[in-house]
Structure 1
Amino acid sequence: MDNLVIEVGYALDTFYFLISAALVMWMAAGFAMLEAGLVRSKNTVEILNKNALLYGIACIVYLIVGYNVMYPANPMSSVIPGIDFFLGADNTAADVLSGEEGAPYYSTMSDFIFQAVFAAATMSIVSGAVAERMRLWPFLIFAIVMVSVIYPVEGYWKWGGGFLDQMGFQDFAGSVVVHMAGASAALAAVILVGPRKGRYGKNGKPIAIPGANLPMATLGMFILWMGWFGFNGGSELKIANIDEANAVAKVFVNTNAAAAAGMVAAALLARFLFGKTDLTMTINGALAGLVAITAEPLMPSPAMATLIGAVGGLIVVGSVLLLDKLKLDDPVGAISVHGSAGIWGIFAVLISNPDATFMNQLIGTVVVFAWMFGATFVVLSIIKAVVGLRASEEEEMEGMDVHECGMTAYPEFTNDK
């Protein structure tokens, strides 16, 4: 192949990877806005602080060690990855232009930044589930362990060439590897931290705690929706030829269709069940549709992607109601959106991907859940024993903002004392 053609293809695929990474990074803003909008105003600053800091911490620890755990140069086995620190040199021109099969066609650095923002997104899922009662710094300590070891290990099993990949487990962009993984960790955290004060009555009946800023939460949904085009589209890994360009375009179409269908389906079901069109269900329906299509956004037809997203929207409504019955307090519905819809999405792969088998999808899902839930439970239990996890009753009542951050989000609406 002509060197100029190779160079242009390399540049285009690298550029596309970087733009996709930027879109996924923008999801950090979406998570922050969604979470801040769905909590009470007295906890807004702490939520924003947490989302900003977890992103920064995730990027640092993934750079130091997490990336090399997930993509080890010399893995110990298909289960245990190797360990190395920091990033090596990028591809040389000689490597790219060698013409050999398997020659790199995009920058290694672009791959790192794309994977780093995925790692941060996984941690953001946990953030929403423990909002309004888990202390800031214990959460950030857990983020270090999560992004340096816990998430990269299961990521290696699939995307780093580990045993789940060798087995034939299919997960295109991470319905299980990212979303259900984050939800599994979130579930362990919710169990250990417990529900917010006043969330359930004496008879166990759920008591609604409305969010303070639904316009902000809705903005968060649309930011996440936009970022998902990079999340799923970037996972195609290539765009610099006709077939790949067409594939990326189809991924975008299917991603959008699933989100739209999930949103509408959840809104219709909420209307049927409650007699009202609950905005939080509308928001989470869109996100559930996105999670559901993430496992296989390329092979379904747009009509099938619409159906997959719609089912995800229906599932998330039922899941939110079920978790309330179980007294598992999740202020933003993160476990339902990313967990329940993620499980549906991984099995929806069977509809369109002939390489997927039910048993492989089941094994992959169970393994990832067991690892993420178990490892998270152990690490958070240790943190709980050493420094504690939960804010005191007084801190929770007065708000995390004042006690954790020394400021409030809306001081002009706060009476001076």
Structure 2
Amino acid sequence: MNLRKLLYILAGGATLSALVIEPSLAQTTETAVEVTEVAATGVSAETAYIFNTFLFLVTGFLVMFMAAGFTMLEAGMVRTKNVSMQLVKNIALYSVATIMFWIVGYNLMYDGVDGGYIGSFLPKMIPAPDADPGDYSAASDFFFQLVFCATTASIVSGTLAERIKLWPFLIFTVILTGIFYPITGSWQWGGGWLSELGFSDFAGSTIVHSVGGWAALSGAILLGARKGKFGADGKVHPIPGSSMPLVMLGAMILWLGWFGFNGGSQLALGSAADASAVSRIFVNTNMAAAAGVIAAMLLTQLIYKKVDVTMAVNGALAGLVSITAEPLAPSLFMALIIGGIGGIIVVIVVPLLDRLKIDDVVGAIPVHLVAGIWGTLAVPITNAETGFGTQIIGIVAIGAFTFVASAIVWTILKATVGIRVGEEEEANGLDLAEIGVEAYPEFGTGSQRL
């Protein structure tokens, strides 16, 4: 690309003679052809390739950084004796997802679905740079899709904290990231039967977040609650986390990463309209999160006469999950409403799970599952091309498959290797029982005070 063409793009089509010295006649003829191409298509094919690849990579590493957000949030929500376990689980699940999505997940999700139910069981073969298809790097697309896959497993980790064994959890992660998530993802994002039906889920309120939530719910039911969480009389005994600063840090990292999660899902940055769409997605995403915080704070103040920091944090996350199914079409006002309802959902569903004696350590089921359902149902409100009936079919199909398939795997693991640590190990903490390194040794049970 020459200087004249670049200036044309940056100036948005302004008169070029005011920006550069007039070229020779030969240069003028060549440039006229190039400018005509740019004016007709927004940018040249080469420039679109660069922009689209850049979008995938930058938003991809923002989503990857969400792994740090989940890690910090979970580390703060568990007790000090279980922090190292959460750190190991999160770095391990990201690594497992990376390998499994390459071995089988990507092609299972995208290769040859063609209106059906499943792709191919082959490793993803990334072509050489000079053989890249389409208007973006194949490697950049693979990376962007991969980090979404890893997010699904992160959701499960927090719910089952403080009592699940490490290796059975990672075995489940292998199956979730390599098979379950890619199959349901293929139904819509891979051009499968739900896509043909008209189901809409822009960035994954259902495909990512509810899938993680359903897998977490089935695991929580089969695993059982933490010792002491529920009394014999049915009374709920709160188990405070180790660090609210870490919880807040994790939430803010997730908030930041969500701009990549939703913005990158625009999947194109080759025109002014695409750039405007990504900007609009950023603004709506931010508004929904803010509304979720305020709604959760106001409701907890009204009900409990105090503001709970964990409810405020999960209100933000629920707002983000809620807007993820359609972050482009809503106005700012509608983004506020959609995110605010997500915050309300958290405050209502958290105590409901307690009454059902389902122990969700970080509140992932209200945030990712229930708010994910709400966000998917809300799509037709601002997107007239999508019907409620179709959205319900997608939610039920993906939910039923994920819950049943996950429950089968959890049951097999429970009957064979076992999924829960012993009572003594749970009491002493999983850092000692499963990891061998305490996160805070000066406060731990294995410490030697000097």
Find the partner of 1:20 among 28, 48, 59: 59
Cα distance in 2 for residues equivalent to 1:19 and 1:123: 22
With a CA cutoff of 8 Å and minimum separation of 6, indicate the structure with the bigger relative contact order. Answer: 1
Deviation string 1:27-77 (CA, Å, 9 cap, x unpaired) is 0000000011000000000010000100011101111111110111x3486
The root-mean-square deviation of aligned C-alpha atoms, in Å, is 1.5
Equivalent of residue 79 in structure 1, options 95, 102, 117: 117
Rounded Cα–Cα distance in structure 2 between residues aligned with 1:228 and 1:206: 33
> Is 1:116 the equivalent of 2:146?
yes
Task: Map 1:214-233; keep pairs closer than 5 Å.
Answer: 214-233=244-263
2:218 matches 1:179 = no
Deviation digits for residues 186-212 of structure 1 (CA, Å, limit 9, x no counterpart)? 000001100000000111111100000
1:169: which partner in 2? 199
After TM superposition, the structure 1 = structure 2 runs for residues 359-398 of structure 1, keeping only pairs within 5 Å, are: 359-398=389-428
**Contact (CA 8 Å) 2:109, 2:118: kept in 1 or not?**
no
Write out aligned runs for 1:285-296 (5 A): 285-296=315-326
The equivalent of 1:43 in structure 2 is 82
Structure 2 residue corresponding to 1:323, chosen from 343, 353, 360: 353
Q: Which residue of 2 aligns with 1:55?
A: 94
Structure 2 regions of 5+ residues with no counterpart? 1-36
- Label 1:13 to 1:80 Cα distance change in 2 as closer, same or farther (>3 A): closer
Cα deviation, residue 413, structure 1: 2.7
- Rounded to whole Å, the distance in 2 between the matches of 1:349 and 1:218 is 29
Q: Following the alignment from structure 2 to structure 1, what is the Cα–Cα distance between the partners of residues 240 and 278?
A: 39
Secondary structure, in 3 states, of the residue corresponding to 2:378? helix
Identity of aligned residues (%): 52
Task: Determine helix, strand or coil for the equivalent of 2:437.
Answer: coil
Contact 1:90 1:109 in 2 (8 A): no
1:297-336 CA deviation, whole Å, 9 max, x = no partner? 0000011101110011001110111111100000100000
Deviations 1:213-259 (A, max 9, x none): 11001000000000000000000001221101000000000000000
- Matched with 2:433 is 403
With normalisation by structure 2, the TM-score equals 0.89
Structure 2 counterpart of 1:70: 109
AA matched with 1:78: G
Q: CA deviation at 1:383?
A: 1.2
Alpha-carbon distance change, 36 to 66 in structure 1, aligned in 2, over 3 angstroms:
same
Specify the code of the residue in structure 2 equivalent to 1:81: G
Which residue does 1:131 correspond to in 2? 161
Q: Give the aligned residue type for 1:119.
A: C
For the residues of structure 1 that align with 2:267 and 2:66, how far apart are their CA atoms?
Answer: 19
Tell me if the contact between 1:265 and 1:310 (Cα under 8 Å) persists in the aligned partners. yes
Determine if contact 1:37/1:212 at 8 Å carries over to the other structure: yes
Q: Which amino acid aligns with 1:86?
A: K
Tell me how far apart the structure 2 counterparts of residues 81 and 328 of structure 1 sit (CA, whole Å): 35
What letter corresponds to residue 214 of structure 1 in structure 2?
M
The 5 Å alignment of 1:196-275 reads 196-275=226-305
Bigger Rg, structure 1 or 2: 2
In the alignment, the residues of structure 1 paired with residue 123 and residue 94 of structure 2 have an alpha-carbon distance, to the nearest angstrom, of 19
For residues 83-116 of structure 1, what are the alpha-carbon distances to aligned partners after superposition, in whole Å with 9 as ceiling and x for unaligned?
21232415646x76xxxxxxx1111111110010
1:336-383: CA deviation from partner (whole Å, max 9, x where unpaired) = 000111111011111100111011000000001001101101111111
Aligned match of 1:101: none
Q: What letter matches 2:91 in structure 1?
A: A
Q: Distance in 2 between matches of 1:91 and 1:79?
A: 31
Output the amino acid matched with 2:152: T
Match of 2:15 in 1: none
**2:416 maps to 1:416:** no
Using the alignment, how far apart are the partners of 2:422 and 2:77 within structure 1? 21
Q: 1:90·1:107 contact (CA, 8 Å) conserved in 2?
A: no
**1:394 CA drift (Å):** 0.5
Tell me the SS of whatever aligns to 1:164: helix
